Chain A
Amino acid sequence: MTTREAVARVRRREGVAVIELIGDLNAAAEPALDEAWTAATSERPEAVVLSFENSGYINSTGIALVVGLLASARTHRIPIRAYGLSDHYREIFEITRLADFMAIEDDEDSAVQRAVQGAGGDGNG
């Protein structure tokens, strides 16, 4: 199976850190994700938004990495949201019950806006 190397870019918008996930989310993505998380939370953001808009294949190890981010977000009381998931991966987030703890939005504007407003819960359960 061909894979796309994972890259995670961080940018800030209205006090919210947006982590853009590019490529496949699997075991090899851990260093990139860790680095991005550190960069995103070094200056405490209002919230973190995970962008899956340009992500590719996600396997179960990739889901575990997201759980690790959720745990870290919870520890530091940082709300976390996601957007850009395809229907398929939305369903995966439902199966794995990540969706119980991470609000999933349709697009970046909605995710950032709701994160800023704190509307609809903080996404951390």
Chain B
Amino acid sequence: MSSNDEQPAAANRDAANWAKLVSRLKVAQVPDGAVNLNVDGRQLTSPIQGFGKMWQKTYVVRLPGERVTPTELIATWRRQFGEFWPKGNHFYAPLTGIEPGDVALLNLRMPGGTTLSTGVMVLYADEESFTLMTPQGHMFAGWITFSAARQDDETVVQSQVLMRASDPIFELALTMGGHRQEDLFWSQTLGNVAAHFGHPDAVVETKVVCVDKRRQWSRWRNVWHSSAIRSTIYMVEAPIRAITPHKRPAA
């Protein structure tokens, strides 16, 4: 068998699209208003490192091809990513937009008025797709790929999540309505993208596949990093921090 002669060429084609290897995440800058919790020093987690069942969730919306091309759509999405999120949730990306290796902070609205603080790293980005990967403590271990492609006369816009709940608590939360909330979140996001390009009534299709029904019980210790628990502790400690400002964390 010949060696992989074409691989160096392939690698050169996409070297700039992938993030560089990092052992632990580091938030370069904390935007005003963002809470920087549960990201610095965390390792990335693939869907294989999580606890719960493995799911592949695909959300699709179709736009007329003459309205926007896939590359135009992805360029806009990368530049204004957080603006398409449902209200009350914040994605703090670098000002330059989404680039491979960037670390973004997420402050997500949770039931009961709490805010869950976590983050993501941009694993991959090219002209027609980009992928975010989660760190330890995020509600799910995995990644989400956003893409656009031309099919016949349409620009097909897709978000695809490949994930396991990170720990037993998040698995329980997902089972008790969390999956429905997540489906709603990404459906609304794609609806907002469609509305941005002039199609507020576009229908978002959802397809959910359980890739692996088994739970990985050996991963229950992931709960140590839980962003839900740590975010709650952070909120409970807020009055104490208010009178001891020198102990204030990076926020």
Instruction: Kindly identify which residue among B3, B11, B18, B46 contacts A98, using a CB–CB cutoff of 8 Å.
Output: B46
Q: Which residue of B10, B133, B147, B211 is within 8 Å of A96 (Cβ)? A: B133
- On whether the beta carbons of B48 and A100 are closer than 8 Å, the reply is yes
Is there an interface contact between A86 and B129, defined as CB atoms closer than 8 Å? no
In the complex, what residue of chain A is closest to B209 when comparing beta carbons? Answer: A68
A125 → B minimal CB distance (Å): 7
**Is chain B's interface secondary structure helix, strand, loop, or mixed overall?**
mixed
In the complex, which of the residues B1, B10, B149 contacts A108, with contact meaning CB atoms closer than 8 Å? B1
Q: Cβ of A58: which chain B residues have Cβ within 8 Å of it?
A: 10, 14
Closest Cβ of chain B to A103, distance in Å, is 14
Q: Which of B2, B7, B11 has the most CB of A within 10 A?
A: B7
> Which B12-53 residues sit within 8 Å CB-CB of chain A?
13-15, 17-22, 44-49
Complex Cα distance A108/B46, Å?
26
Known contacts A54-B4, A60-B124, A60-B129: does B46 contact A74 (CB below 8 Å)?
no
User: Cβ of A34 < 8 Å from any Cβ of B?
Assistant: no
Q: Does A119 contact B (CB under 8 A)?
A: no
B162 at interface (Cβ–Cβ under 8 A)? Answer: yes
Question: Given A64-B143, A84-B4, is A70 in contact with B48 using a C-beta cutoff of 8 Å?
Answer: yes
Q: Chain A interface secondary structure, helix, strand, loop or mixed?
A: helix
Most chain-B CB neighbours within 10 Å: which of A56, A64, A89? A64
B46 contact set on A, CB distance < 8 A: 67, 96-98, 100
Complex Cα distance A54/B213, Å?
Answer: 33
- Please give, as numbers and ranges, the residues of chain B lying within 8 Å of A32 by CB-CB distance: none
Contact of A60 with B6 in the complex, beta carbons under 8 Å: no
Instruction: Looking at the assembled complex, report how far the CB atom of A75 sits from the nearest CB atom of chain B, in whole angstroms.
Output: 6
Query: Are A95 and B129 in contact, with the CB atoms below 8 A?
Result: no
Instruction: Please give the number of chain A residues whose Cβ is less than 8 angstroms from any Cβ of chain B in the complex.
Output: 37
Q: Does A92 touch B at the CB level, under 8 Å?
A: yes
Q: Are A95 and B8 in contact (CB under 8 A)?
A: no
Q: Looking at the complex, which one of B21, B48, B133, B145 makes contact with A94 (CB distance below 8 Å)?
A: B21
Closest residue to A84 on the B side, CB-wise?
A: B4
Residue from A27, A52, A91 within 8 A of B147 (CB atoms): A27
Give the chain B neighbours of A91 by CB distance below 8 A.
21
* Any B CB within 8 A of the CB of A110: no
The answer to the question of A61 belonging to the interface, with a C-beta cut-off of 8 Å to chain B, is yes
B48 touches A56 (CB 8 A): no
For chain A residues 1-42, which have a beta carbon within 8 Å of chain B?
A: 1, 24, 27
**Are A61 and B129 in contact, CB atoms less than 8 angstroms apart?**
yes
Complex: chain B residue closest to A73, CB-CB: B212
| In the complex, B61 has a CB within 8 A of chain A | no
Q: Is the CB of A86 within 8 A of B7?
A: yes
Can you add 9 more A-B contacts, CB < 8 Å, to A74-B214, A88-B15? A24-B10, A53-B1, A59-B14, A60-B143, A61-B160, A87-B11, A91-B21, A95-B18, A96-B133
Q: Interface on B for A, CB 8 Å cutoff?
A: 1-4, 6-11, 13-15, 17-22, 44-49, 54, 56, 123-124, 126-127, 129-131, 133, 143, 145, 147, 149, 160, 162, 211-214
Q: Can you give 29 A-B contacts (C-beta < 8 A)?
A: A1-B127, A54-B2, A55-B4, A55-B7, A58-B14, A59-B124, A59-B129, A60-B123, A60-B131, A61-B147, A64-B56, A64-B160, A67-B48, A68-B211, A70-B48, A71-B54, A71-B212, A72-B212, A74-B214, A75-B212, A84-B4, A86-B7, A86-B8, A88-B11, A89-B11, A95-B22, A95-B123, A96-B46, A97-B46
